[in-house]
Structure 1
Amino acid sequence: MSLVFPHTFVPWFRSVAPYIHAYKGKTFVVGLAGEAIAAGKLNAFAQDLAILQAMGIKLVLVHGFRPQVNEQLRAKGHESRFSHGIRITDPVALDCAQEAAGQLRFEIEAAFSQGLPNTPMANATVRVMSGNFLTARPVGIVDGIDFMHSGVVRRVDAGAIQRALETGALVLLSPFGFSPTGEAFNLTMEDVATSTAVALQADKLIFMTEVPGIREDQNDPDSAIDTELALADAQRLLAQLPSPAQPTDTAFYLQHCVKACLGGVERSHILPFAVDGAVLLEVYTHDGIGTMVVDEKLESLREATVDDIGGILQLIEPFEKDGTLVKRDRTEIERDIGHYTVIEHDGVIFGCAALYPYPEAHTAEMAALTVSPQVQSQGDGERILKRIEQRARAMGLDTLFVLTTRTMHWFIKRGFSEVDPDWLPEARKRKYNWDRRSKVLVKRLR
C-alpha cells in the first residue's frame, strides 16, 4: 500500500484545483503520434486521458499510424515513399493504411476499456465513439509528384462530433477521410487534428510527439524548451525554418500549431510522449512540459479587483509566516484592493504588490511585493516593480520607497538607495515598526 504524505499531497492538490475549475467543460483535441503507440505508451496515455475526462474535459483523440503503415509495407516487401512531409499513398499503401487503422482502433478501444483495481482506470467509464466525421479531397499532383490516395481534410462534421461529446463520449478519429463519391483518402494525423480543432473552436490542440517541444535556441539541440511561444514569434520562427520533411523537424508540428491559432484555437501544444504523464503535466501545472503556442501571452499584468483577494491571500500567506512580509488580514486587503497590482496566469495569481501614495510628501510606498516560488527568477518581480513605478509617476510623485528585512540587495540592484527611517513621511513614520528594524530604500522616479 502506497503512503500518502498530507504535508505534500494537500498543497499539491490545492495548487491543481484552479486548473480543474478552469478546464471543466472545455474541449481538447489530442493528436497522438503513431510512434507513441509503437513505443508502448498507449495504456498509460489512455489512463491520463481518462483522468482528463473525469475532470470534465471533452476529448477528441486523433491517432497517427506512420510507423504501423511502414511496418505493414515492409511485411509486403513494398517501399514507403514520402514527399513534402506527406506519404505517397499508392493502392498497396492504402491497403496497409486501412489495416493499420483497424488494428490501432481496436487497441485504443481496448486501452480505454481497462478497469483493473488499483490502477488509474478503476471505476472509469470511457465510451469511445467514432464515425465518418471527415470529408476529404486528394492532395493531387504537387511539383510533378502524384500523391494518389493521399488526401487533405475538406470538411469536418463539427455538429456531429459536438453531439457525440455532449453524450459524454470520447470521440476517436482515424486519419482517413472519404470523398462525396465514397473514395477513401489517407490523411495525416496532424491535418485531421488541426482541422478538427479549428472546426470545433476547441480550447486546446495537443500533439503528443517524438519531439520535446521547440528549443529556445534552434542552433543548440540541448537548449531549454520554450514553454510559451507567442503566435507572432512562432510565425517568425517558421519563416526562418526550412520546409519540414519529417516529424522530428522543428517546423513539422509548429506549422500546425500556428494554423490552429490563426483559425481560432487559443492554445496549441507540442508535448513529448516519452515523458510519462506529459499531458497531465502540461494541463495541470503552471509551466507545463512542452511548448505552448498562444495568440498572445497568457500572463496578465493588471490592477487587482475584489475577485483577486483570495488569490492574493494565498500567495502572501507563506511569506507572512516566515516573517518576510508583515501580516495583513483579509479585511485590510479588501479595503486596499485598489492599491494592488497582480500578475495572473490562467486565473491563478502568481505575483502582487501594493502602492500606497503619500502625496503631501510627493512619494509612495510599495508594499507586499510577492512572487510565487513557482515562477521566481523569471522576471515577474521586475515587471511588477515597473508597473508600480508607472502608477506612481502617473500620480505625479517623485520617489518610491520600500521597507524590507530580507530583500535589500534585490532593490539596490534596481536603483534603490538606503536611507534613515527618519526620511519616511510623517504619516508612515508613525506606523514604523522599530522592533522589525526594516531597512528603508528609496528610488527617484524623475
Structure 2
Amino acid sequence: MSSNKKDYVKFFRQSSPYIHAHHGKTFVITLGGEALASPNLNNIINDISLLNSLGVRLVLVHGARPQIEERLSARGLESRFHNEKRVTDRQCLECVMDAVGNLRARIESKLSLGLVNSPMHGASIRVISGNFVTAKPLGVIDGQDFLHTGAIRRIDKEAIQQQLDSGYIVLLSCLGHSPTGELFNMEVEEVATHTAVCLEAEKLILYSKLESVRDHQGHSISRLSPQEASKAIKSLQGDSRRLLSSAITACHGGVDRAQLISYEQDGSLLLELFTRDGSGTMVSRDRYEEIRAASIEDVGGILELIRPLEQEGILRRRSRKELEREIRLFRVISLDGMIIGCAAIHLFSGEHAAELACLVVHPDYREKNRGDLLLSAIEEQASQQGMDTLFVLTTQTSHWFVERGFAESSQKSLPKEKRSQYNSERQSKILVKKL
C-alpha cells in the first residue's frame, strides 16, 4: 500500500470516534465577509456539506464587512465607527441590506450545487433563512447615536430547533428585525455567539484569517481555557481580538468548545473537528488534555499504548488481567478521550521507597514535555505517600532518567521484595532518585 493510501486509512480510522461524537450535535459556524470572499470558499462549502451529510445540525451565521465597505466606497460614502462599532445611518443600511442579500443568495446557491463528480453530488442540502433574530437599537453611547446599528434582543430558539429537527441548515446574517418592522445591522460575531448560547450548541466555529492564536514568541496556541484566553486577548487586536472575545463569551455562556480556524487553509474545518491535534485554536470549558488517575475503562487504551514497546523488549509484557488488577497504580494523560501517556507507581512502604514503572508517551505526542509531567505526577504522589526514594528499572532509557536527577545504583539499593523479583536475563539498569 502506498504512503498516501496508508495516511488516508489512518486518518479515516482516527476520525471515526469524532464522526460518532458529532452526529446529532448542534454546531454554529461563523462565516465573516472575508471568508466569503476567500478563494477557498468552495472548499469551505464542501466541508460544511460533509458535516451535514454526517448528521451534524448546522447553523451558519454570515457577515459582510468587506462587501459593505465596497458598496459604501462605490457610492462615495465613508464608514463611520465609534469604539470599533459601525455607525449605521440610512444610506449605510441600504449598503448592508444589498451586501447581505447578495451573500445570502450566493451561499444558498453554493449549498445547492450537486454536479456529478463534485464533492456535493447527491448531498440534497436544504437551507432556510428567515426572521429568527429579533434586534433592538444600540442607542446612544458616549453621545454617539448608532442609528440603525443594533444589538440582540431575542433568538427564536424554538423555530430554529424545528428547522434543525427537519434536517435544514439554518442561515442567519448580521441583520436583525425589530417588532416595529425596522432592520438593524449587528456584528456577525455577536449574532453567532448569542445563537450558540441560546441553542446550547456543542461548538461555535469561527473562521478567521489566522490559522491560530499565537503567543508572544509567535508560537501557535492550540488550546486555551476561557481564563487563559482572557489573558491572551490583551495582546491581540482587530479581527483576532474580536473572534477570541466571542469564543470566551460563548464558553462562559455554556458552549462546550469554541474553535478559531483559518478560512485560507484548505480543510481546516475537517482537521479541527476530526483530528486530535486540530488546525486552529480551541477555547474549551472542559479539560481537553489532563493527567489523572487511571480507571478500569482505560485498560484498553494503556494496552494499545504499551504493546509496541513490549514487542520491542523495552517493556516487560503485561496481560490485560494484570493491568486490570493494577490499574489503580497508574496515572494517564488523556487527550480528548485517547490515552497518550501512562506511568505506574508501586509503593514499598516498609522501606519508604517507590518504583516508577511503565512510563510511556505515544510517539506522536512526545513534545511539550509530557514525559516530564508524568514523572512529576509520580514523584508528587510518592512524596505524599511518605516515600523517600523513587527508583526505576530500564534497559534503554537510562540517560533520560539521569538527566532528570536519577543516579545509577545496584541491586542492593532495591527493596527486598523487588530484589527477589529482579530479572537477571533482562539486565535492567537500576536508577534511584532521592525525593
Question: Is this a same-fold pair by TM over 0.5?
Answer: yes
Q: Aligned to 1:228, which of 199, 218, 223?
A: 223
Contact 2:215/2:232, CA 8 A, preserved across alignment: no
Measure the CA separation in 1 of the matches of 2:42 and 2:106: 9
Measure the CA separation in 1 of the matches of 2:188 and 2:432: 58
Alignment of 1:14-53 (within 5 A): 14-53=13-52
* 1:261 Cα offset (Å): 1.7
Partner in structure 2 of residue 135 of structure 1: 134
Say if 2:251 is the partner of 1:252: no
1:57–1:326 CA distance, 2 compared to 1 (3 A): farther
Partner in structure 1 of residue 154 of structure 2: 155
Contact 2:40/2:265, CA 8 A, preserved across alignment: no
Say if 2:203 is the partner of 1:204: yes
Measure the CA separation in 2 of the matches of 1:202 and 1:184: 26
Measure the CA separation in 2 of the matches of 1:30 and 1:229: 19
* Length-normalised TM-score, structure 1: 0.91
Q: Aligned to 1:438, which of 413, 428, 431?
A: 428
Letter in 1 for 2:302: I
Letter in 2 for 1:391: Q
1:13–1:325 CA distance, 2 compared to 1 (3 A): farther
1:123–1:406 CA distance, 2 compared to 1 (3 A): farther
* 1:403 Cα offset (Å): 1.5
Measure the CA separation in 1 of the matches of 2:5 and 2:411: 43
* 1:296 Cα offset (Å): 5.5
Letter in 2 for 1:345: L
**Deviation by residue 1:342-400 (Cα, 9 ceiling, x = unmatched):** 11122111211112223343322221111122321212222222222232233332222
State, as a whole percentage, how many aligned pairs show the same letter.
45
Gap runs ≥5 in structure 1? none
Measure the CA separation in 1 of the matches of 2:422 and 2:16: 38
Say if 2:346 is the partner of 1:356: yes
Measure the CA separation in 1 of the matches of 2:91 and 2:310: 69
Measure the CA separation in 2 of the matches of 1:212 and 1:5: 24
Measure the CA separation in 2 of the matches of 1:317 and 1:7: 21
4+ runs deviating over 6 angstroms = none
1:25–1:116 CA distance, 2 compared to 1 (3 A): same
| Number of residues of Structure 1 aligned to a counterpart in Structure 2 | 435
Measure the CA separation in 1 of the matches of 2:334 and 2:264: 31
Contact 2:134/2:178, CA 8 A, preserved across alignment: yes
Contact 1:50/1:121, CA 8 A, preserved across alignment: yes
Moved more, 351-360 or 58-67: 351-360
* 1:336 Cα offset (Å): 1.6
Q: Aligned to 1:301, which of 287, 291, 294?
A: 291
* 1:179 Cα offset (Å): 0.8
Aligned-residue RMSD, C-alpha: 2.2
Partner in structure 2 of residue 56 of structure 1: 55
Measure the CA separation in 1 of the matches of 2:5 and 2:415: 46
Measure the CA separation in 1 of the matches of 2:52 and 2:424: 55
* 1:88 Cα offset (Å): 1.9
* 1:59 Cα offset (Å): 1.5
Measure the CA separation in 2 of the matches of 1:256 and 1:334: 44
Alignment of 1:8-407 (within 5 A): 8-217=7-216, 223-238=218-233, 240-241=234-235, 246-247=238-239, 250-295=240-285, 297-407=287-397
Measure the CA separation in 1 of the matches of 2:308 and 2:5: 17
Measure the CA separation in 2 of the matches of 1:361 and 1:119: 69
Alignment of 1:404-443 (within 5 A): 404-443=394-433
Moved more, 325-334 or 305-314: 325-334
Letter in 1 for 2:65: R
Moved more, 376-385 or 171-180: 376-385
Letter in 2 for 1:429: R
Contact 1:22/1:347, CA 8 A, preserved across alignment: no
Measure the CA separation in 1 of the matches of 2:76 and 2:328: 72
Letter in 1 for 2:183: A
1:118–1:185 CA distance, 2 compared to 1 (3 A): same
